[in-house]
Structure 1
Amino acid sequence: MNAIEAFKVQYEKLNCESAQAIIVEKLSQVGLAPKLYGVFNGGRIEEYIPSECATVDDLEQIELSLAVMRKLARFHSLDLPLEKLPKQMDFIVSMEQFSQELDEREMEEYSLEDQKCIKEIFKFENQKELTWVNKIISRISKFLVPSHGDLHPNNILLKHNYESIDDRVMLIDYDMCGYFYRGYDIAYFLRMRRTWNQN
């Protein structure tokens, strides 16, 4: 890796960390995340909240699971400074860029086996397919909401000091968040509340 590539990697990492910090700050303002006290290269300083991670047994309590769902509903209703594109569809953008930028000179950088695979891929009408998929996405994007993306018990704090069941629950670790469909978080949570292994 040369100096320019190293700088690019570091720059992208800092941009990603900055975006996450902005999101956490916005969420903390509405009580959906711990307060953010500072950001540094490689991490953040956040409020310490006396609490413990939820367990599968905790989430068997229907009142607690409902409180998690209410917190999630509040999160889903926010307007976050994120690209409103389904996060799991990022590969489409990458594929589109790849297909546009690839030329014969760049093909030589790949092994013969990889070149063969790439040529097979480009036998398909990729650009036409990508255009079609993007058209579909643009039509369904209005149904997208901010998605936590990783709502398992370890990312649900149960505060030691709280005023209500809803106040007891704090969602954390928004590093996987992006715009996606509401049902994804709900289905993921319902699955993980029964199957998560915390050992």
Structure 2
Amino acid sequence: MPAEIHYSIHPLNTEPKKVVFRIYCKPDSGIISETVICSILAEKNLGPKLYGIFDGGRIEEYIPSKPLTMKDICVPSISKEISKQFAKIHQLCVPIKKNANFMDFINEWFQNLSNNQNLPPFFNIPEHYHKYSPKTLTIQDLKTEIEFIRSKLSKLLKNIVFCHNDLHGGNILLINDNEKKYEGCSKNLNQQISNPKLMLIDFEFSSYNPRGFDLGHHFAEYVFDYEAKTPPYSSTTRIPSKKHMFEFIFAYIDFQNPELSKDEKIQQANKLLNVSFSM
């Protein structure tokens, strides 16, 4: 039989009406790796769909959403969902170099700090951390600590995973189902969103690293307020409690290894908590 076209059949219009048009600030810096990563994330439904790439940028899916604020990431239901997103990302196998580079970050940060002409002779550690840390910290103390970490790298780098490396609230989207508008910074946010849907974005700093580095970096981001208009833009009083970090990591372990007993999950969570806290 000859093929026929039925006039009652109409083509579906799936062309998106809104897209994100990304322009790379540094066109020669890691574009191929980032494009590969974005493709894999889209395929796994862990990132926006990738519609096209071109010299100097890419076109990707627009997702109605809001970035999380400093207060949002502390909400229990959202924090638990972030831990699950961590677990999903850390289980990915991405075809990029599997050399941990977190020491490069540490060396760069330390060098920037050392070059600060207004650096005080020592830093005062908040009193509520005196149980776990010295009362003061000098630049030499930091240098000694970095050398200690470097000496332990041979063991630490045996277990590395694909990491985001920059997971602050601005890189976590709260997806707006049915075009709902969520109010950030609300104390009732946990009641408003019992099952929040999140998506991680901006993987330009991603690489393979110890998972403790990725988790520890996320906890460190709690102190920064990216919406602040005037200094100081950070406060050590916002560092998450040990209880909060344990619950976050326990949820992470529970999602990755649901078959483990509760005692085994607690044991693994405590070990990972110590590593993350030291990072």
Where on the TM-score scale, by shorter chain, does this alignment land: which range? 0.5 to 0.7
Unaligned runs of 5+ in 2: 1-25, 106-149, 179-192, 229-279
Unaligned runs of 5+ in 1: 1-11, 92-132
Q: Is the 8 A contact 1:84 1:141 kept in 2?
A: no
Aligned residue for 2:58, secondary structure, equals strand
Aligned residue for 1:192, secondary structure, equals helix
> d(CA) in 1 for partners of 2:46 and 2:156?
27
Residue in 1 that maps onto 2:54 = 40
> Aligned-pair distance for 1:139?
5.7
Aligned residue for 1:56, secondary structure, equals coil
Aligned residue for 1:72, secondary structure, equals helix
> Aligned-pair distance for 1:80?
0.6
Q: Does 1:62 align with 2:76?
A: yes
- Aligned CA distance change for structure 1 residues 160 and 39 (closer, same or farther; 3 Å): same
> d(CA) in 2 for partners of 1:80 and 1:89?
20
Residue in 2 that maps onto 1:24 = 38
Q: Is the 8 A contact 1:53 1:155 kept in 2?
A: yes
Report 1:131-150 matches (<5 A). Answer: 140-150=156-166
Structure with higher helix content: 1
Q: What does the per-residue CA deviation read over 1:121-164, in whole Å, with 9 as the maximum and x for residues that have no partner?
A: xxxxxxxxxxxx8xx86665431001101001100000101898
Aligned residue for 2:30, secondary structure, equals helix
- Aligned CA distance change for structure 1 residues 187 and 137 (closer, same or farther; 3 Å): closer
Aligned residue for 2:177, secondary structure, equals coil
Q: Does 1:85 align with 2:115?
A: no
Aligned residue for 2:158, secondary structure, equals helix
Q: How many residues align?
A: 145
Q: Give percent identity, aligned residues only.
A: 35
> d(CA) in 1 for partners of 2:222 and 2:96?
27
Is the radius of gyration larger for structure 1 or structure 2? 2
TM-score when normalising by structure 1: 0.64
Residue in 2 that maps onto 1:161 = 177
> d(CA) in 2 for partners of 1:25 and 1:150?
19
> d(CA) in 2 for partners of 1:75 and 1:29?
13
Please tell me the residue identity of whatever aligns with 1:181. Answer: P
Report 1:99-114 matches (<5 A). Answer: none
RMSD (Å), alpha carbons: 2.7
- Aligned CA distance change for structure 1 residues 57 and 15 (closer, same or farther; 3 Å): closer
TM-score when normalising by structure 2: 0.47
Residue in 2 that maps onto 1:170 = 199
> d(CA) in 2 for partners of 1:146 and 1:23?
10
- Aligned CA distance change for structure 1 residues 44 and 140 (closer, same or farther; 3 Å): same
Residue in 1 that maps onto 2:212 = 183
Please tell me the residue identity of whatever aligns with 2:168. Answer: H
Q: Does 1:49 align with 2:63?
A: yes
Aligned residue for 2:167, secondary structure, equals coil
- Aligned CA distance change for structure 1 residues 52 and 72 (closer, same or farther; 3 Å): same
Aligned residue for 1:176, secondary structure, equals coil
Higher relative contact order (CA 8 A, sep 6+): 1
> Aligned-pair distance for 1:175?
0.3
